[in-house]
Amino acid sequence: MTGLAKDARIFVAGHRGMVGSAILRLLQQQGYRNVLTRTRKELDLCDRHAVDAFFAKEKPEHIILAAAKVGGIFANNSYPVEFVRDNLLIQTNVIDAAYQHGVKRLIFLGSSCIYPRECKQPIREEYLLTGPLEPTNRPYAVAKIAGIEMCWAYNRQHGAQYLAIMPTNIYGLNDNYDLDTSHVLPALIRKCHEAKINGQKPVTVWGTGVPLRELLYVDDLAEACIFLLADDNAMTSLTAPEHLPIINVGYGEDLSIRELVKLVSEVVGFTGEIIFDSEKPDGTPRKLLDIGKITALGWKPKVSLREGIEESYHAYLFTQHHA
Ligand code: GDP
């Protein structure tokens, strides 16, 4: 089954990010010896010449493209230019350079927000482009949809094996805890923790608390990426030219923001009041992925939401103490 030699030259683009760093950790744990990485300072993925020079010199055989401009609902709303421009540049440069330099396999990471706002649930891969997108993250979503289309084009026209993985909301080690740009879970961990140590002050949660979100621990996503990349049969069938090369990776269950705050409060030990600020946007009402395709291949999530929140909180406390 394994099509990935331990000495294969695997380029993890975006290894400093939450997803890329989890993939790098797991590749190293699994004994891959030739993992290639570059920091943003060493290689600007928005710069095509630099990307070409890197590929010519290092000759990666496989690529996991986890580099992207990402952020929560507020960041997406505030910086539409960066979200559409940087993502288009990074993915265009890396995917085309991959082809030009003979890279056979590439994993492109997207997000569940590529699906229509009012999508039928749970969301199957073929629901892509069946309705209007959620406006708060449309620039990001449109860029990612273009990336999927690119993967498909190279598969069709050039027989490449470029696969787009669509994860649900991810959280875990190396998450972003900046309240202006983070996603909901790290924001809630930080808010509940700070409120607790300040004498159980009230916590303000954005929106109505009604939207539903599915959350997956980042190590589970990393495992899914390597699992797929290493499976010859799966890669061949998922990237066959006749269909969109896209596969969902999720937890399989969702919960409301209200329930999520309750869970985070329990883990953190926050017992104060919770206020919902309905002036702030709710975003998509629900985006639960159908994970039938990947579970049929033999992958399933291992880390429960409570365990994942506990791990994340411990990691958050550690970084607080060592800041
Ligand atoms: P989304 O999944 O793309 O909508 O991104 P987020 O993770 O940023 O937000 C998910 C949901 O959590 C939205 O309904 C937000 O309004 C809600 N939410 C509640 N409190 C917060 C918070 O403090 N930060 C963020 N980012 N979202 C929050």
Indicate which CATH number applies to the domain containing 18: 3.40.50.720
Residue-wise pLDDT tens for the chain (323 aa)? 458 999 999 999 999 999 999 999 999 999 999 999 999 999 999 999 999 999 999 999 999 999 999 988 888 889 999 999 999 999 999 999 999 999 999 999 999 999 999 999 999 999 999 999 999 899 999 999 999 999 999 999 999 999 999 999 999 999 999 999 999 999 999 999 999 999 999 999 999 999 999 999 999 999 999 999 999 999 999 999 999 999 999 999 999 999 999 999 999 999 999 999 999 999 999 999 999 999 999 999 999 999 999 999 999 999 988 87
Please state the pTM of the whole predicted model.
0.96
pLDDT at 290: 98
Active site residue 162: no
In a domain, 185, yes or no: no
What pLDDT is stored for residue 2 in this prediction? 58
Q: What is the pLDDT of residue 321?
A: 83
Instruction: Please report the atom of ligand 1 found closest to the CA of residue 284.
Output: 4
Q: Does 47 map to a domain?
A: yes
Give domain status of residue 275, yes or no.
no
For residue 164, the enclosing domain spans 9-172+214-252+287-303
- Asked if residue 192 belongs to a domain, the reply is no
In a domain, 219, yes or no: yes
Rounded to the nearest angstrom, the distance between the alpha carbon of 282 and the centre of ligand 1 is: 7
Identify whether 182 is part of a domain.
no
Ligand 1 atom 27: residue of nearest CA: 184
In a domain, 205, yes or no: no
Q: Per the structure, how many domains does the chain have?
A: 1
Kindly state whether residue 94 falls inside one of the protein's structural domains. yes
Ligand 1 pocket, residues with Cβ under 6 angstroms: 72-73, 113, 137, 169, 182-184, 187, 205-207, 211, 213, 257, 280-284
Tell me the CA–centroid distance for residue 296 and ligand 1, in Å.
Answer: 31
How far, CA to CA in Å, does 153 sit from each of 30, 96, 102, 171? Answer: 32, 11, 15, 31
